[in-house]
């Protein structure tokens, strides 16, 4: 066990539902030290995310925000971006008008909110790059090339899977805006000297646990990742409800209710595949997955009116005894020898 030092965090996409992710992560950090909860960047060696999870990865890992800062910043960003629909861009005269963009929301509002966060954190240069000389907490986000539909990681560190021109040129706000750009809500974001357009990767990897594993294996190559791993934590943004379906559909006569966006890859399918492939991590108590049940996934990505509901449902989930104990075990698994004493009091 002495050589198992790596802690890794994978964050699902989910729009406003990512607020649930933050409250779950807050509880995990408080399980480590309730009086002085550590920053995630001080405990995780790598944070990877898709969509809103990618945005949180940047805020928590690259910008080194604490959980409360991130909750405040993310809540404000969502209200600013989704609080009103994009104004129509109109051409023509009189009643002869047409929409230039099919996007439901304006990506420029995302950019404005992100630059505001950078300014508040003391970054006078709002054009600061995503790449980082501090490799204590490596961060990457998943984006998808709008032309080829190929998933591409944008990373703070040199990665064999991140194109060199994007690694050298992508700014923090660009990476955050691109990974946040759900095709159902925003126009693609243009990146790099080649001016290619990118969206989020919810259709390919809404649960990026496999992508996080691949990136980590590429970074820590001296021996097997399994032998170096202390703990891998994966956090979702809510499960759909289960409803009885027609005999021809679903498994054993049941199916999951449709989520707001049927083009999104099913996160639980990825979770189950990964656990099957790495059962020893689960058996050893080194793999944890948290996800609020009972229909949270059916809240639309931009439904800011439901943010209080998201928080309430998450708090109810965390109060369940089995989940509470799982959070305690996760905090213990994350803590390295010599770290501050764990505090589990309710």
Q: Mean pLDDT, to the nearest integer, of 101-106?
A: 85
302-335 residue pLDDT tens: 999 999 999 999 999 999 999 999 999 999 999 9
**Cβ partners under 8 Å of residue 319, min gap 6:** none
Domains, the chain, in order of start with CATH, read 6-83+105-241+263-334 (3.40.1090.10)
- The tally of CA atoms less than 13 A away on the side-chain side of residue 320 is 14
Lowest mean pLDDT among 142-146, 150-154, 199-203: 199-203
C-alpha 316/C-alpha 338 separation (Å) is: 33
Query: What span, in angstroms and rounded, lies between the C-alpha atoms of 138 and 222?
Result: 17
Find the mean pLDDT for residues 188-197: 97
With cut-offs at 50, 70 and 90, classify the pLDDT of residue 248.
Answer: very low
What pLDDT, on a 0 to 100 scale, did the predictor assign at position 319?
98
Which has the closest alpha carbon to 16: 242, 255, 304, 264?
A: 304
List the one residue out of 151, 127, 128 whose CA is nearest residue 141: 151
* Spatial distance between the Cα atoms of 268 and 274, rounded to a whole number of angstroms: 10
Query: Does pTM surpass 0.75?
Result: yes
CA nearest neighbour of 281 among 343, 204, 344, 212 = 212
Over residues 6-45, the pLDDT tens digits come to 999 999 999 999 999 999 999 999 999 999 999 999 999 9
The single residue listed with the structure tokens 């002869």 is 96
Would you say residue 102 has pLDDT above 90? no
175 CA to centre of own chain: 13
Q: Is the pLDDT of residue 232 over 90?
A: yes
pLDDT above 70 coverage of the chain, percent: 85
Provide the β-strand partners of residue 138. Answer: 46
CA distance 279 to 277: 6
Task: Report which of 138, 118, 267 is spatially closest to residue 201, judged by C-alpha positions.
Answer: 267
Res. 262: pLDDT tops 90 = no
Q: What percent of the chain has pLDDT over 90?
A: 77
């Amino acid at each position: 066990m002495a050589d198992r030092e790596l802690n890794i965090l994978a964050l699902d996409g989910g729009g406003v539902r990512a607020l649930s992710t933050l409250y779950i992560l807050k509880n995990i950090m408080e399980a480590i030290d309730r009086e002085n909860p550590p920053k995630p960047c001080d405990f995780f060696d790598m944070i990877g995310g898709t969509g809103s999870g990618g945005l949180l990865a940047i805020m928590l890992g690259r910008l080194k925000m604490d959980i409360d800062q991130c909750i405040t910043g993310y809540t404000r960003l969502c209200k600013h971006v989704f609080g009103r629909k994009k104004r129509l861009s109109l051409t023509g005269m009189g009643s002869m008008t047409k929409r230039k963009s099919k996007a439901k929301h304006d990506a420029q509002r995302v950019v404005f909110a992100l630059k505001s966060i950078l300014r508040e954190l003391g970054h006078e240069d709002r054009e600061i790059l995503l790449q980082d000389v501090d490799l204590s907490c490596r961060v990457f986000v998943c984006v998808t090339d709008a032309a080829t539909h190929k998933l591409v990681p944008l990373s703070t560190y040199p990665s064999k899977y991140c194109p060199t021109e994007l690694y050298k040129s992508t700014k923090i706000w660009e990476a955050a805006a691109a990974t946040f750009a759900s095709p159902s809500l925003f126009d693609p974001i243009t990146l790099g000297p080649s001016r290619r357009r990118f969206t989020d990767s919810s259709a390919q990897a809404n649960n990026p646990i496999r992508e996080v594993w691949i990136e980590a294996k590429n970074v820590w190559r001296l021996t097997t990742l399994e032998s170096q791993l202390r703990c891998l934590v994966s956090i979702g943004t809510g499960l759909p409800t289960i409803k009885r379906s027609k005999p021809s559909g679903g498994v054993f006569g049941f199916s999951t209710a449709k989520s707001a966006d049927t083009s999104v890859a099913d996160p639980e399918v990825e979770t189950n595949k990964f656990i099957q492939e790495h059962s020893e991590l689960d058996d050893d108590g080194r793999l944890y997955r948290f996800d609020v049940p009972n229909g949270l996934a059916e809240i639309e990505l931009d439904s800011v009116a439901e943010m209080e509901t998201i928080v309430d449902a998450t708090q109810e989930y965390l109060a369940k005894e089995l989940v509470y104990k799982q959070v305690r075990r996760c905090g213990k698994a994350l803590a390295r020898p010599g770290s501050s004493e764990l505090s589990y009091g309710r």
